């Protein structure tokens, strides 16, 4: 797919200055966060878990988020994934404020644009690898022949071409997490969010999965944000930020 076809990019015909017709310039980020606050009211008073965070992640960019346990990393990803709402601030995904959408439209938006990978694979044990990968397409009422073929191709891309009909119980931990990555990509999202995706894997599997996520991110031009405790993995990302006391520090 050409850059101009990506929703994150706009083709400006007859743009001013030295940009000629059909030059592609970036108008906005896939993920654009401004002054994001998440506040919990506790008996001890209000607690700002996220305290005016701002960050942009474009198509084709990757970002690792590190930080101590309880610092708000999952809260941040859940808000970006529209699974939780900000207390204040602005979150734009693919140029839209998803929190303005009604519940039905928000679910459709999430399913179209955002892929998730969690620490646990959350595969359904009774389904094969291919059927698990198909779930996001089924949820959109789109599980025809093309989708079945796409699920197979995704499993081949994550190195599981010979495990398509295996059930989760017949796969190793690393293989199960690869299926979860293929499932996250099923609907062709531009945004991939991973919350400690290697947290349950040994060192070798962790490295393999991390490299695979970055390869997929680069080849598909995704905006990838990955929370990790693994410093080696974080070091492979183009950008790293530490979340501490509600704020980001660039590393």
Residue ranges binding Mg ion (CB under 5 A): 74
* Distance of closest approach, residue 83 Cβ to Mg ion, in angstroms: 13
- Output 133 or 234, the one with its CB closest to ligand ADP: 234
DSSP readout, 160-186? Answer: -TT-TT--GGGS-HHHHHHHHHHHHHT
Angle at 74 (CA atoms; ends 71, 77), nearest 5 degrees: 125
Element (H, E) at 62: strand 62-66
198 binds ligand ADP (CB under 6 A): no
Q: Which does 69 bind (CB under 5 to 8 A by kind): Mg ion, ligand ADP, none?
A: ligand ADP
Q: Which does 81 bind (CB under 5 to 8 A by kind): ligand ADP, Mg ion, none?
A: none
Stretch that binds ligand ADP, among 64-72, 161-169, 173-181, 197-205 (CB under 6 A): 64-72
Count CB neighbours of 81 within 10 A. Answer: 20
Q: Which does 70 bind (CB under 5 to 8 A by kind): ligand ADP, Mg ion, none?
A: ligand ADP
CA atoms within 13 A on the CB side of 222: 26
Site for ligand ADP in 108-137 (CB under 6 A): none
152 binds ligand ADP (CB under 6 A): no
Q: Which does 71 bind (CB under 5 to 8 A by kind): ligand ADP, Mg ion, none?
A: ligand ADP
Binding letters toward ligand ADP, positions 23-62, x by CB under 6 A: -----------------x-x------x-------------
Name which of 220, 230, 226, 237 is nearest 153 in CA terms: 220
How is residue 149 annotated by DSSP?
Answer: H
DSSP readout, 65-83? Answer: EE--TTSSHHHHHHHHTTS
Beta strand 88-93 pairing with 31-42: antiparallel
* Distance of closest approach, residue 36 Cβ to ligand ADP, in angstroms: 13
* Distance of closest approach, residue 210 Cβ to Mg ion, in angstroms: 17
Element (H, E) at 244: strand 239-244
Name which of 127, 122, 101 is nearest 112 in CA terms: 101
* Distance of closest approach, residue 41 Cβ to ligand ADP, in angstroms: 8
74 binds ligand ADP (CB under 6 A): yes
228 binds ligand ADP (CB under 6 A): no
- Output 70 or 141, the one with its CB closest to Mg ion: 70
What's the order of all strands across the beta sheet hosting 31-42?
A: 45-57, 31-42, 88-93
- Output 218 or 242, the one with its CB closest to ligand ADP: 242
**Cα–Cα distances in Å, from 25 out to 14, 55, 92?**
12, 19, 18
246 binds ligand ADP (CB under 6 A): no
Chain residues binding ligand ADP by CB under 6 A are 40, 42, 49, 67, 69-75
């Amino acid at each position: 797919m050409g850059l101009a076809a990506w929703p994150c990019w706009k083709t400006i015909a007859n743009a001013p200055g030295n940009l000629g017709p059909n030059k592609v310039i970036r108008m906005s980020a896939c993920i654009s966060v401004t002054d994001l606050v998440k506040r919990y009211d506790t008996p001890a008073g209000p607690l700002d878990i996220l305290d005016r965070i701002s960050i942009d992640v474009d198509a084709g960019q990757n970002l690792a988020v590190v930080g101590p346990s309880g610092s708000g990393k999952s809260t941040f990803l859940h808000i970006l994934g529209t699974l939780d709402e900000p207390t204040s601030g602005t979150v734009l995904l693919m140029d839209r404020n998803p929190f303005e959408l009604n519940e039905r439209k928000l679910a459709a938006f999430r399913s179209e644009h955002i892929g998730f990978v969690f620490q646990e694979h959350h595969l359904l044990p009774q389904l094969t690898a291919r059927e698990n990968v198909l779930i996001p397409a089924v949820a959109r009422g789109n599980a025809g022949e093309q989708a079945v073929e796409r699920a197979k191709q995704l499993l081949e891309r994550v190195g599981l071409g010979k495990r398509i009909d295996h059930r989760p119980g017949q796969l190793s931990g690393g293989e199960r997490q690869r299926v979860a990555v293929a499932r996250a990509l099923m609907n062709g999202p531009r945004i991939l969010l991973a919350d400690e995706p290697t947290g349950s894997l040994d060192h070798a599997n962790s490295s393999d999965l991390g490299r695979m996520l970055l390869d997929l991110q680069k080849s598909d031009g995704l905006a990838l944000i990955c929370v990790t405790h693994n410093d080696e993995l974080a070091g492979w990302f183009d950008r790293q930020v530490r979340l501490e006391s509600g704020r980001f520090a660039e590393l």
